[in-house]
Structure 1
Amino acid sequence: MSTTTKTVLFLGATGGCGLSALRRSLAAGHTCIALCRTPSKLTDKLASSTPPTGATTNLVLEQGNAHDVDALARCLVQPRASSPHALVDTIVFSIGGAFDMSSFSLDDPAVCEKGITALLAALQRCRDAQSATGRPRLVVISSTGISDAGRDIPLLMVPLYHVMLKTPHKDKKALEKAVMGSAEEWTIVRPSFFTDGPESPKGVRVGVEDPVAGTVESKAVGYTISREDVGKWIFENVVEERPGDARWVKRAVSITS
């Protein structure tokens, strides 16, 4: 249980990475808001997780689309704060589309770009229309293979990333551009190629880039990482971030097994 609890908004909580971070946040006692098109899909996944999360008193489920500014604005103000206009403390943005192998594309090729555009607009609306206060920590899941500061993937993975994943990576680039152009306190997480399964007992390796300056502070090149490990890293390093700890603020962090 965390000594300081926060209010965390999850967008894309039914996916592997978001679900992993959500489960850990709930167990730590944080108030977690999850915006889902089908809330029962999330509750079913929580109940069947290992160990089962089940129904929790600190989970606030909201029905809606992460591309809907109205729905997002409804979720951005803390439901249990002493101030009626306090924004959430942290936003975990892990939305994505279903990959179509026949076309090497997504069911929605601009799913991340539309989602982050709507989120930034909703934040501004809350501040303008509701005089909402606070500056949430925003963490978004992007991908390795799209850095402008040098190669961050193994040479053998270059054909896969630059051909097969061309469309999804175009969307991730648009996501990153919007985030970096905002006034929010953001962290971009760039995982290696996703795998299913449990977290690695060896932990993860981390590379750090300042994407605004175009400089690489450290490198970590690898092939894969489990979704479970991505969610764990986000929980431990962003959700549980202590006041004054700015290690990952305005940084792109590549993580790999």
Structure 2
Amino acid sequence: MTQNTKIILFLGATGGCGLSVLRRSLAAGHTCIALCRTPSTLLTKLDTPNPPPNLVLHTGNAHDPSAVFLALTAPVDTILTSIGGVFTFTGLTIDDPHVCETGMATLLAAIRRRRAEVGPAWRPRLLVISSTGHTGVGPRDTPLLMVPLYRGLLAVPRRDKKAMEDLLVGEGAEEGWTVVRPSLLTDGGSGRVVRVGVEDPGGRRVERSEVGYTISREDVGKWVFEELIEEREPGRWLRKAVGLTY
């Protein structure tokens, strides 16, 4: 168990990357709050009929301002959002083409509303799961062979995640955020070395470029937990967009 426990709000905890971070955070003794449309789905994925003592479940939608505000209690010091849409081959789109953009707008508004109540000193750490394929500066962050996939089949979710990042870098510029951009996600874990590219979106410069094809959801969660929840090097990834790949 970690000595410095945190209070972490999870949005999108039933998804692969978010679930991986949640499992590790619970095991480390952090207090975890999860906003879920169907909490029983999360418990099933955690393989338990009842929530562990350090998991607080809220029923609601990450697009509902009231639900997000209620889950965002003032003691929360870290927020992880990993929400996303369900891809459909009909029209090559997702069930909500603005799922990430709307979720970020809702979250930023809830943070401002809660801060107005508790005071300006409350500055929760904001961790955002995005994807590669839309770096704003420098060279492309996907292999040449993957470009048609991102610009064709994945064009709609790619635009949505880009809009989400634009909101964060613009409207949320003063928040303590880190954007995580994994390459194409796979299931399972590998134990392979994770390469990390680093971009400074605010300063519009690439600090280190790493281009790769895939990475597992489990390994993304492991990296996020170790580097951003446990913070082996506090402040190292603040206001950076980090690209994760094998």
Q: Same fold (TM over 0.5)?
A: yes
| Equivalent residue, structure 2, for 1:82 | none
- Alpha-carbon displacement from aligned partner over 1:164-185 (angstroms, at most 9, x marks no partner): 1111111001100111121210
Q: Work out whether 1:160 is the aligned partner of 2:149.
A: yes
Please tell me the residue identity of whatever aligns with 2:153.
Answer: M
Contact preservation (8 Å) 2:191, 2:219: no
Offset, 1:56: 1.0
> Contact between 1:8 and 1:90, CA under 8 Å: does it hold in 2?
yes
How far apart are residue 53 of structure 1 and its match? 10
Instruction: Pick the aligned partner of 1:98 from 70, 86, 94.
Output: 86
Compute the displacement of 1:221 (Å): 0.7
1:123 and 2:123 correspond? no
Structure 1 stretches of at least 4 aligned residues deviating more than 2 Å after TM superposition: 52-55, 129-133
Q: Which residue of the other structure, out of 134, 137, 146, is the alignment partner of 2:125?
A: 137
Gapped runs of 5+ residues in structure 2?
none
| Mapping 1:230-241, distance limit 5 Å | 230-241=220-231
1:49-95 alpha-carbon deviations (Å, 9 max, x no partner):
xxx79731100000011011111111111xxxxxxxx3411101000
After the TM superposition, which residues 181-196 of structure 1 pair with which residues of structure 2 at under 5 Å, given as runs? 181=170, 182=172, 183-196=174-187
Q: Indicate the percent of aligned positions where both proteins have the same amino acid.
A: 59
What residue is the counterpart of 1:217 in the other structure? 207
> How big is the shift at 1:200?
2.0
In structure 2, distance between residues paired with 1:185 and 1:60: 24
Deviation of residue 148 (structure 1)? 1.9
Deviations, residues 122-174 of structure 1 (Å, cap 9, x unaligned): 01111124547521110111111100222111100000011111111110011
Instruction: Indicate the residue corresponding to 1:250 in structure 2.
Output: 239
Quote the offset at 1:256 in angstroms.
Answer: 0.5
Check the 8 A contact 1:69/1:118 in 2, yes or no: yes
TM-score, normalisation: structure 2:
0.95
**Structure 1 contact 87–133 (Cα < 8 Å) conserved:** no
Amino acid of the residue matched to residue 17 of structure 2? C
Contact 1:126 1:132 in 2 (8 A): no
Instruction: State the partner residue of 1:174.
Output: 163
User: Residue 44 of structure 1 aligns to which amino acid in structure 2?
Assistant: T
RMSD of aligned alpha carbons? 1.5
Give, in whole Å, the separation in 2 of the partners of 1:201 and 1:213: 33
Distance verdict in 2 for CA 1:250–1:145, change over 3 Å:
same
- Look up the equivalent residue of 2:212 and give its one-letter code: G
> Distance between the aligned counterparts of 1:103 and 1:240, measured in 2?
41
- Cα separation, 2, equivalents of 1:127 and 1:148: 30
* Preserved CA contact (<8 Å) 1:46 1:54: no
Give me the TM-score of the superposition, normalised by structure 1.
Answer: 0.91
Q: 1:53 to 1:216 in 2, by over 3 A?
A: farther
Equivalent position of 1:111 in the other structure: 99
- What number of residue pairs does the alignment pair up? 243
Alpha-carbon shift at residue 202 of structure 1 (Å): 2.0
Q: Distance in 2 between matches of 1:15 and 1:54?
A: 19
Offset of 1:203 from its aligned partner? 2.8
Gaps (5+ residues) in structure 1? 78-85
